[in-house]
């Protein structure tokens, strides 16, 4: 695809393994209401967090192919796991700009932290990849990083168990070591975790800043579009959601992530 002036009116593609990336859709729509957004949620294959790099890369490539067939001008990988495991390979071959959520989250954490003791939580695959740790170290080699996988958080959020006693017990179990390490900043390195922010803050206390990459990622997207002359200056903007399975469940649970009801959900079969 050649980028030209007509591409300004092309949509932005936002990808997630399921519905968690709707937090990024929300941030992008708030920041750039004139842009058209196409969302691709790979609900047939979620969760990615427990899968191998080979599988995650292949699913992510399918999403990119889908977006390119819809003539997007830019792709946002809103899924932390897909960003951690597939972004470099996807970037190397995509004809349109691709950005992930890890750089944005790491930069936001470095600017939020005062003592440079930074916690990172995410899926098993994200934490095992050390993608956040490496990015944070590049930004500030002196920071101390405490990374911990929290695999039970995704099902709890999908169940809507945001502040149940069971959820609070799981939060305590996972985050106790980070609290003891006296982190002052915690990266919520998974699309689902911002929904647990209230309960996580309650456990860690008000002095620990929680960083989620959705708003930093939207800011970075705006910068890329502006720099490339691809930012829309007029229009009302639209959103279309494609899922690879379970459109009805996506609509129901997705409204929790988006903070409003979802229109225009379409089914697209996975490869
Ligand atoms: N979207 C994933 C992430 O941000 C969480 C859900 C999954 O495991 O696929 O890491």
H or E stretch covering 14: strand 12-16
Q: What is the mean pLDDT of residues 141-148?
A: 97
3-state secondary structure of 98: strand
Which tokens is 98 given? 């691709």
Residue 2 confidence class, pLDDT cut points 50, 70, 90: very low
3-state secondary structure of 7: helix
Check 74, 143, 150, 190 and give the catalytic one.
Answer: 190
The neighbour count for residue 61, using CB atoms within 10 Å, is 16
- Name the β-bridge partners of 242: 40, 266
3-state secondary structure of 264: coil
**Residue 47 Cα to ligand 1 middle (Å):** 6
Between residues 71 and 215, the one the model is more confident about: 71
H or E stretch covering 122: strand 117-122
Task: Provide the percentage of residues in the chain whose pLDDT is more than 90.
Answer: 89
Q: What is the mean pLDDT of residues 163-181?
A: 98
Which tokens is 42 given? 């790979």
**How confident is the model at residue 5, as a pLDDT?**
44
Residue 6 confidence class, pLDDT cut points 50, 70, 90: low
3-state secondary structure of 267: strand
Distance CA 253, CA 154 (A): 12
- According to DSSP, residue 140 is labeled -
Give the pocket of ligand 1 (CB within 6 Å).
Answer: 16-18, 20, 46-49, 79-81, 122-123, 126, 154, 190-192
Distance CA 231, CA 221 (A): 9
Lookup result for tokens 């399975």 = 245
Check 74, 79, 143, 150 and give the catalytic one.
Answer: 79
Q: What is the pTM of this model?
A: 0.95
Active site residue 143: no
Runs of H (alpha helix) within the chain: 22-31, 53-69, 80-93, 102-112, 124-129, 131-139, 153-158, 165-180, 197-204, 213-227, 247-258
Which tokens is 260 given? 């409003």
Active site residue 150: no
Nearest to 105 by CA among 148, 135, 149, 75: 135
Domains of the chain plus CATH, in order, are: 5-100+215-267 (3.40.50.1860), 103-213 (3.40.50.1860)
Give the angle subtended at the CA of 1 by the CAs of 215 and 28, to the nearest 5°: 15
Closest residue by Cα to atom 2, ligand 1, is: 79
**Residue 4 Cα to ligand 1 middle (Å):** 33
Q: Cβ distance 146 to 120 under 8 Å?
A: yes
Residue 26 confidence class, pLDDT cut points 50, 70, 90: very high
Average pLDDT, the chain: 94
**Ligand 1: which of 15, 82, 158 to mutate, judged by most atoms within 8 Å of the beta carbon?**
82
**Residue 80 Cα to ligand 1 middle (Å):** 6
Q: Please give the number of the atom of ligand 1 that sits closest to the Cα of 48.
A: 9
Distance CA 86, CA 9 (A): 27
């Amino acid at each position: 695809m050649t980028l030209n002036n007509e591409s300004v009116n092309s949509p932005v593609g936002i990808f997630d393994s399921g519905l968690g990336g709707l937090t990024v859709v929300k941030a992008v729509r708030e920041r750039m209401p004139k842009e058209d957004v196409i969302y691709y949620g790979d609900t047939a294959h979620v969760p990615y967090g427990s899968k191998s790099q080979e599988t995650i890369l292949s699913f992510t490539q399918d999403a990119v192919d889908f977006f390119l067939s819809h003539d997007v001008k830019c792709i946002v990988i809103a899924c932390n796991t897909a960003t951690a495991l597939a972004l470099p390979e996807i970037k190397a071959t995509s004809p349109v700009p691709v950005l992930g959520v890890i750089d944005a989250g790491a930069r936001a954490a470095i600017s939020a932290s005062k003592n440079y003791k930074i916690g990172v939580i995410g899926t098993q695959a994200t934490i095992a990849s050390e993608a956040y740790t490496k990015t944070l170290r590049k930004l500030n080699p002196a920071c101390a990083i405490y990374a911990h996988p929290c695999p039970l958080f995704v099902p709890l959020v999908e169940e809507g168990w945001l502040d149940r006693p069971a959820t609070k017990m799981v939060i305590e179990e996972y985050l106790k070591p980070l609290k003891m390490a006296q982190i002052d900043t915690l990266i919520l390195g998974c699309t689902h975790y911002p929904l647990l922010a209230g309960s996580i803050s309650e456990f860690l206390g008000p002095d620990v800043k929680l960083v989620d990459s959705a708003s930093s990622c939207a800011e970075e997207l705006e910068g890329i579009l502006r720099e490339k002359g691809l930012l829309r200056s007029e229009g009302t903007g639209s959103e279309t959601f494609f899922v690879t399975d379970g459109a009805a469940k996506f609509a129901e649970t997705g409204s929790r992530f988006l903070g409003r009801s979802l229109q225009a959900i379409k089914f697209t079969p996975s490869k």
